[in-house]
Amino acid sequence: MMAKHKRKGLEGAGKESKKQKITRAEEAPRTSEARPGRETASPMVQEASPELSPEERRVLERKLKKERKKEEKKRLREAGIAAAQTAKVQTPPAKPSAAVLALEYLQGWAQKQESWRFQKTRQTWLLLHMYDEDKVPDEHFSTLLDYLEGLKGSARELTIQKAEALMQKLDEADPEARDGSLGKVQRLRQVLQLLS
């Protein structure tokens, strides 16, 4: 048993543990870190490279790269420039709202533009908000009525059903509440008269 232990001791004497190699590799570049901004490994690392295996050299280079990045960020922070600002170029312009897109869609239809094409989302938005004077102004409502004349199928039937239900709801409401929605009642009547 003593012979086995001695043999292990002799074999292990020539080998170093990974921790020992890495700590020795870390000690070498510390002297080169005084020179910031260098992209290549320091002369000390290159001189010590015959002692380091390729794997140890890669580990060492990664650590140096990380430290250079940290120093760069610190320098930028001290200069008053945030690292996030350097990554952002510009913010994209704001997209137009659904109301603007729907009214442009309606105007394109009215002017019979060649680029105009049917868009269900725009039509749906117009049908949902056509009674709201703020969202569909009076100058666009007459164009919308012309557009509704061509409405077919289930869209036409649903529009009639919703208009009748809204009219019935407004009729059942208090007279004071009806006075506030006079424009809405007028639009409802126009739509019902057109589609019925």
Alpha helices in 30-119 (DSSP H): 43-48, 54-78, 83-87, 98-110
Question: How do residues 17-43 score in pLDDT, each as one tens digit?
Answer: 555 555 555 555 444 444 444 445 455
Please tell me which of 36-45, 64-73, 168-177 the model is most confident about, judged by mean pLDDT: 64-73
Tokens of 138: 């009076």
The answer, yes or no, to whether residue 190 has pLDDT greater than 80, is: yes
Mean pLDDT of the chain: 77
Question: How do residues 128-147 score in pLDDT, each as one tens digit?
Answer: 999 999 999 999 999 999 99
Alpha helices in the chain (DSSP H): 2-13, 18-27, 43-48, 54-78, 83-87, 98-110, 120-129, 138-149, 153-172, 175-180, 182-195
Cα(165)–Cα(12) distance, integer angstroms: 91
Residue at 155: amino acid letter: A
Question: How do residues 84-113 score in pLDDT, each as one tens digit?
Answer: 555 555 666 788 899 999 999 999 999 988
CB neighbours of residue 187 within 10 Å? 22
The band of 181, judged by pLDDT with boundaries at 50, 70 and 90, is: confident
DSSP state of 93: P
Task: Provide mean pLDDT across the span 57-73.
Answer: 92
Report yes or no: 48 and 22 within 8 Å, Cβ to Cβ.
Answer: no
Cα(86)–Cα(70) distance, integer angstroms: 15
Q: Which residue's entry shows tokens 């890669």?
A: 58
Which range (51-55, 125-129, 178-182) has the least confidence?
Answer: 178-182
Tokens of 154: 């289930």
Number of separate helices (H) and strands (E) present in the chain: 11, 0
Q: Is the whole model's pTM more than 0.75, yes or no?
A: no
What's the residue count for the chain?
Answer: 196
